[in-house]
Amino acid sequence: MSTTDILLDPANILKGPHQIAFDITNKCNLRCLHCYNNSGDNIVSTNELSDSEVMDFIEDVGKMELFNFCFCGGETLLRKDLICKASSRLKSLGVANISMVTNALLLNERTIMQLKENGVNRIQVSLDGSKADSHDRLRNKKGVFDKAILAINLLKKLDVKCSVAFTPTCFNVDEIEEVHSILSKIGIDGELRVQPLMLLGRADGNESSINVSKMQYRQLVKEINRINNQNTSLEIKWGDPIDHLIRFRTTSSSQCVNHCNVRANGDIVVSAYLPLVVGNLRNHSFSEYWNSGLGKVWENKIPSVIAKTIVCIEDMNKRNDGIPTVWRDKDIYIDMIDKDLNDISNLK
């Protein structure tokens, strides 16, 4: 391999991805109307990695010089003790940024201090409205709004970086300015993240009662730009969940995958929003998958063929002949070490 090849292809020299998002559990203490992976009710939650399997994974990836490791879910704090143990080990291995997401129901002062002491330095809490009516309606349980506000205040008090996620729906989309105002007054050391409602999992079944119209989206983006143009200390970050699906399959030159998703049962997926599993930690270690080309997985034909079925948000739950919908149908499982991701016949 020439020096030019190495410079043009970062995947040839990187020890691993920059970021890993790991669903430490898909069990959940809520049944939110918009949950894209149907947490609490999906098949993954019945076959999760054991504590020892998780720690083997942590030991493996902790040596890859990660920029960030994020514990996702499900409700992550249902495995709080394991998060503390895993975070402590990641910290000792030199991983500087360890984050997690939570619905905040189980987040109290003692828990925050335990997480902080073991290396967790950023926690994301959802705030889906400026008042209890809208937030609790989406979260499908009363009292969750108050818990979220309390948790955000505690994170500020205990000096833990706090990011807040806001999911727009037809009944809260007009509350973004008030949400921004609430968080600005608290003075969170993070950002307010907003992205379109993903019509997957539980949101697929609740689309008629929660979906946002195109006009509402236009007004929301306009309002976000207006707020950000005021140069406030709290920036609103607008995200596009399908940007990577289009970018990776259409780019003229290969791109190294710098963000990897691992499910609670050990499945490694090309994207959290595609029904394509390319490996499982019970078959091979994560480092074996990386060394076998996980960083260049989009150079293969099958990921691109599947990604072509999604070009906009409305396509995420669209029925496609021969291509399942993630979190609704059985995934396509092609272990990249054992099978060829360029062989289209494997889709059958």
**Residues 175, 181, 183, 189: is their CA dihedral positive or negative?**
positive
pLDDT tens across the length of the chain (348 residues): 444 444 455 556 678 899 999 999 999 999 999 999 999 998 898 999 999 999 999 999 999 999 999 999 999 999 999 999 999 999 999 999 999 999 999 999 999 999 999 999 999 999 999 999 999 999 999 999 999 999 999 999 999 999 999 999 999 999 999 999 999 999 998 999 999 999 999 999 999 999 999 999 999 999 999 999 998 899 999 999 999 888 888 875 456 788 999 999 999 999 999 999 999 999 999 999 999 999 999 999 999 999 999 988 889 988 887 788 888 888 999 999 999 999 998 887
**Residues 266, 268, 272, 275: is their CA dihedral positive or negative?**
negative
* Amino acid at site 214: K
Tell me how far apart the alpha carbons of residues 299 and 134 are, in angstroms, rounded to a whole number: 43
Beta strand extents in the chain (DSSP E only): 19-23, 68-72, 97-102, 122-126, 161-166, 192-194, 236-238, 259-262, 267-269, 276-280, 332-333
The confidence score (pLDDT) of residue 319 equals 82
Secondary structure of residue 170 in the 3-state scheme: coil
The confidence score (pLDDT) of residue 254 equals 56
The confidence score (pLDDT) of residue 133 equals 97
pTM for the whole structure: 0.93
Annotation: CATH topology of 1-348: TIM Barrel (3.20.20)
**Distance separating the N- and C-terminal Cα atoms of the chain:** 35
Tell me how far apart the alpha carbons of residues 280 and 180 are, in angstroms, rounded to a whole number: 40
The confidence score (pLDDT) of residue 298 equals 92
Secondary structure of residue 328 in the 3-state scheme: coil
Q: What number of helices (H) and strands (E) belong to the chain? A: 13, 11
Tell me how far apart the alpha carbons of residues 244 and 253 are, in angstroms, rounded to a whole number: 14
Estimate the share of the chain in helix, then strand, then coil, as percent rounded to the nearest 5: 40, 15, 45
Contact criterion met (CB below 8 Å) for 328 and 317: yes
What is the CB neighbour count within 10 angstroms for residue 213?
A: 10
The confidence score (pLDDT) of residue 13 equals 65
Residue 323 sits at the vertex; the CA angle it makes with 318 and 327, to the nearest 5 degrees, is 65
